[in-house]
Amino acid sequence: MSKKIIGVGSPLVDILARVSQEHVDGIAGDKGGMCMVEHEELQSLLSAIPDSSKELAPGGSASNTIMGLLQFGANGSFLGKLGEDERGQYFVNAFIDAGGDKNSFKFCAQTPTGTCLSMVTPDAERTMRPFLGAAAGLQLDDVSASDFSGHDHVHIEGYLLFNRDLALKTLKAAKEAGCTISVDLASFEVVLANKDVLPELLENYVDMIFANEEEAKAFCDSDDPQVAIESLAKYCSTVAVKLGADGAWVQHNGQKVYSEAYKVEAIDTTGAGDLWASGFIYGILHGLSLEKSSQLASKVGSEVVQIMGAAIPQDGWARIKALLD
């Protein structure tokens, strides 16, 4: 039977734009980085890019993972806040169309839906300018154990840790409801800002943790993925250290394996780690072996980097699901 899974985090509408290197050089901030912006600055950045170069897609770290799980046939919902506007309705419609349950969304009439401009240069690198908008308005009173009742698993994006009280209440509520919990550390900034509390939170609440190379290094102060696995496995029974094109090391209940990445030509890495997590979570929760789960994750990750955005087309999902036959 398919598991019932809920994501928690920031539901965003991604605006994906193919731009030149010169375009990125002409804006403030480093190429490949992520700088938060206000609504007015976002609108200014958008106005400088022709509409023909832009595409809309549902986004946000945890929501990308849940959307991927929906494609596998999982029952999915999402706890996050949207604006009562056109972009918010677009996000809800996309979630429903993917097979998701809309009933866990919260709404804010005063603030626009969160939006992330993702500028992709010809080398496939993303430069992101997110405006969190309504997504930043999720409050303590918006979260209770009843939100997780009837669910098997909760997937939380690490960005939630920038609001520690909200993150802790979410973790406690999920555990109270009897759910297992996975967390994607999201960015090295999240790890560095929360190193004083992360070990305790992981040990007490988290069953499955995802980290990329930078996040793992920030946690254990080492470039060695073996050190990272060992460090994180002290607190969580399931650990994944993702190495991008170099594959991933994963450990589950003491068993450790290396998973190679599929060799493909990447055009956009938007959502690659989020969708990798979709395949891995689906496999582990549905009784696949650690090797099969990590292979499935790698396949999902390879498909998403070959397209713009995080919405893998159906022919890509057909290739992914062939691994389950």
Q: How confident is the model at residue 21 (pLDDT cuts 50, 70, 90)?
A: very high
Please tell me the pTM assigned to this model. 0.93
Model confidence pLDDT, tens digit, residues 39-96: 999 999 999 999 998 989 999 999 999 999 999 999 999 999 999 999 999 999 999 9
Share of the chain above pLDDT 70, in %: 100
pLDDT at residue 1, as a whole number = 62
pLDDT at residue 269, as a whole number = 82
Structural domains of the chain, with CATH: 4-11+61-110+136-324 (3.40.1190.20)
Residue with tokens 């599929």: 262
